[in-house]
Amino acid sequence: MIYLDNGATSSVKTSAYEEMLPYFTEYYGNPSGIYNLSEKSAKAMKDSREHLAALIGADRDEIYFTSGGTEADNWAIKSTAEMLGDKGRHIITTKIEHKAVLNSCKYLETKGYTVTYLDVDEYGMVRLDKLKAAIRKDTILISVMMGNNEIGTIQPIEEIGRIARRHNILFHTDAVQACGHIPIDVKNAHIDMLSASGHKFGGPKGIGFLYIRKGINLPSFIHGGGQESYKRAGTENVPAIVAMGMAAKEHKANMGSNVKYVINLREYAINRVLREIPYVRLNGHRLRRLPGNMSFSFQFVNGEAVQVELDMKGICVSTGSACSAKETTPSYVLMSTGLNEELAYGTVRMTINEKNTKAEIDKVVEELKTIVFKQRQMSTEYKEMINPYIRYGRRR
Ligand SMILES: *Cc1c(COP(=O)(O)O)cnc(C)c1O
């Protein structure tokens, strides 16, 4: 099997997996307890928090564990609205956010808040002049993702952070695709809140965290016991927290070499596809993109059919993103970059990480070539384009 869908989820790193195992059966104490067994769990959580904080340039007590990226996004957006609803009820975000952000904003619209959804350019970049123009007296939050899950575009986060800070507006970023994969410095980028998810960087599913800058008294989203400094109730998922922390520690230690390796492999793959397959477009920004992300739109081809055929060869890719894979409308992210429907439906996303190899890429490109050429041979539009004098039995 060749797995090129790390943007949907990744396998748990071996070190993270091994680190978490004793916390199921040996060190199973509730971290809130006061005996020795519990202290073992509490200490493990503290270490994990430290590794995660180090990964994004935060302090340990600014990391709050959640059930994943979706909860972190919901918490940041809805609780900011609750906290600052008296000050203002306007939020700025973009048209290409993950559904966890978009639907949290949609929900707030039903509660009397107004949301501006910023357009992006053909590369998926937010334009800073449009952002500045959207700011109002009653704007309380700017939420712009760091790296896009479908097309990989990395937003100008430092500039956005500076603009938000200058206008005294809180800045949240969904960094689920970026965290662990590119260097992040929350202080330098003036980020007030940042969402991340364990399973997107070699940790388990169902665990994530929200970074909340010290000094922001974000209300609790899940009420109950006093866990996470009274901000997120519920007995902590200690094994998953331990594993996520270990994955973070590894990413921090190998960031430079991993980024270099993955970008080189991606560039090799992109260059081969663009050179060897005609009528194809690379989505997203050519350079400002997540190291592991490639999104191609093939003309005269159905992306879903390509995905199915690759699957029969043991190759896992996706069309848009996993979360919208069940939808029948073309991807709103791709459409926001100005793609027409035909190209949007011809899209294949491949997301690699440091575990993938050049041999795997070679195999995938060869299979992709065969499948795309085969599909085009069945496409009347394609045949008429390359030979406009022949009508292939189509009635006019
Ligand atoms: C996967 C993803 C999420 C959701 O994270 P979960 O931990 O799966 O809930 C949010 N935002 C982005 C950009 C993602 O890629």
Which mean pLDDT values do the consecutive 10-residue runs of the chain (396 residues) have? 98 98 97 94 98 98 98 98 98 98 98 98 98 98 98 98 98 98 98 98 98 98 96 97 98 98 98 97 97 97 96 94 64 96 96 98 98 94 83 58
Gap from CA of 143 to ligand 1 centroid (Å): 15
Relative to beta strand 63-66, strand 114-118 is: unpaired
Gap from CA of 101 to ligand 1 centroid (Å): 10
Contact at 8 Å (CB) between 25 and 33? no
Decide if 323 is catalytic.
yes
Cα 18 from Cα 12, distance rounded (Å): 10
Spatial neighbors of 210 by CB under 8 A, at least 6 apart, are 64, 66, 71, 72, 75, 76, 193, 194, 195, 196
Of the candidates 344, 350, 348, the one whose C-alpha atom is nearest the C-alpha of residue 328 is 344
Cα 380 from Cα 383, distance rounded (Å): 5
Structural fold of domain 13-251: Aspartate Aminotransferase; domain 2 (3.40.640)
pLDDT value at residue 325: 54
Nearest CA owner, ligand 1 atom 6 = 69
Spatial neighbors of 388 by CB under 8 A, at least 6 apart, are none
Residue in 70, 146, 150 to alter for ligand 1 test, most ligand atoms within 8 A of Cβ = 70
Write down the residue that tokens 């990391």 correspond to.
63
Gap from CA of 343 to ligand 1 centroid (Å): 25
**pTM for the complete prediction?**
0.96
Of the candidates 73, 19, 25, 54, the one whose C-alpha atom is nearest the C-alpha of residue 202 is 19
Cα 58 from Cα 85, distance rounded (Å): 27
pLDDT value at residue 165: 98
DSSP state of 366: H
- What tokens were used for 55? 């990964």
Residue 207 Cα: closest atom of ligand 1:
7
Instruction: Assess whether the region 13-251 and the region 255-381 belong to the same CATH fold.
Output: no
pLDDT value at residue 395: 53
Q: Per 3-state DSSP, what percentage of the chain is helix, strand, and coil (rounded to 5)?
A: 45, 15, 40
| 275-279-285 Cα angle (round to 5) | 70
pLDDT value at residue 329: 85
- What tokens were used for 323? 């979360």
For residue 116, count other CB atoms closer than 10 A to its CB: 18
pLDDT value at residue 266: 98
Nearest CA owner, ligand 1 atom 8 = 69
**Residue 143 burial (CB < 10 Å; 0-12/13-18/19+)?**
buried
For residue 159, count other CB atoms closer than 10 A to its CB: 14
Q: Place domain 255-381 in its CATH homologous superfamily.
A: Aspartate Aminotransferase, domain 1 (3.90.1150.10)
pLDDT value at residue 386: 85
Gap from CA of 300 to ligand 1 centroid (Å): 31
Write down the residue that tokens 């440091």 correspond to.
354
Cα 336 from Cα 243, distance rounded (Å): 36
| Ligand 1 neighbours by CB, cut-off 6 Å | 68-70, 73, 98, 100, 145, 149, 174, 176-177, 197, 200, 208
Write down the residue that tokens 């990395």 correspond to.
154
Residue 203 to residues 9, 63, 76, 129, 197, Cα–Cα distance (Å): 9, 16, 22, 37, 8
pLDDT value at residue 326: 59
- What tokens were used for 395? 């009635």
Residue in 145, 176, 179 to alter for ligand 1 test, most ligand atoms within 8 A of Cβ = 176
Residue in 10, 145, 174 to alter for ligand 1 test, most ligand atoms within 8 A of Cβ = 174
Gap from CA of 239 to ligand 1 centroid (Å): 20
- Domain positions in the chain are 13-251, 255-381
**Residue 335 burial (CB < 10 Å; 0-12/13-18/19+)?**
middle
CB hemisphere CA count around 285 (13 angstroms): 18
